[in-house]
Amino acid sequence: MAKDMRILLVGAPGSGKGTQAVEIARRFGLTHISSGDLLRKHVADGTATGRAVRDYLKRGDLVPDAIVADILYKPVTAAVARGGYVLDGYPRTVEQAEAAYEVAGEKGTNVQLALHLDVPTKELVRRLLARGRGSDDTEDVIAHRLEVYQEKTVPLLEYYAKRETLVQVNGARPVGEVAWSIAVQLQRVKL
């Protein structure tokens, strides 16, 4: 498939969004944009944004919409100009999707296809505890992140399903198998 793809990965913490986003970006020549990575970089760099979001990340709460929208605007616009993106972690609520649509709608930068990485909770917890990324990969914070996912992000799946732009992926298989299955599905759909 030619370039100009705008893909969104939706999945619970530990479902493999980051892992698969890197694969998709490489295979299709897209830019990988991770809201979580960008936020963590702000924290590590000690920027004003980093100081504003640090405690949200630590608790596993979503940071305020305006902050995420602000840090993503430029990278998303630039990625579209380069041929497309694979977004990992944004939008992750219906409100964020609607706001992004408002901004992007007329510019043609909005998501074309959402991929849902489906993984059972037990496996998510196993992966995150094994990874131990930092203060948000502890048992308590993982449990909270999973609650936030259920409450705030699961409705987003319905939002994309209604628009017929949702593709389900069984993410509970080895990394290479999941990547292969995503590539096959992306070749099949007409974007």
Residue facing ligand AP5 at closest CB distance: 36
Closest CA to 161 of 114, 123, 120: 114
Going residue by residue from 26 to 65, which x/- string records binding to ligand AP5, judged by CB under 6 A? ---------xx--x----------------xx--xxxx--
Interatomic CA distance for residues 8 and 6, integer angstroms: 7
Is 11 among the residues that bind ligand AP5 (CB under 6 A)? yes
List, in order, residues 6 or more apart from 147 with CB less than 8 Å away. none
Pull the structure tokens for residue 23: 């694969």
Candidate residues 4, 7, 18, 130; the one interacting with Mg ion per rule CB under 5 A? 18
Could you tell me which residues are beta bridge partners of residue 33?
87
Nearer to ligand AP5, 4 or 38 (CB): 38
Q: How far is the CB of 105 from ligand AP5 (least distance, A)?
A: 19
- From the list 9-17, 54-62, 63-71, 106-114, the region that binds Mg ion by CB under 5 A is 9-17
Q: How far is the CB of 16 from Mg ion (least distance, A)?
A: 8
| Exposed / middle / buried, residue 52 (Cβ in 10 Å: 0-12, 13-18, 19+) | middle
Is 82 among the residues that bind ligand AP5 (CB under 6 A)? no
Q: What are phi and psi of 86, to 5 degrees?
A: -120, 110
Q: Which of residues 131-160 bind ligand AP5 (CB under 6 A)?
A: 131, 145
**DSSP codes, 160-182:** HHHTT-EEEEE-SS-HHHHHHHH
Q: Site residues (CB under 5 A) for Mg ion?
A: 17-18
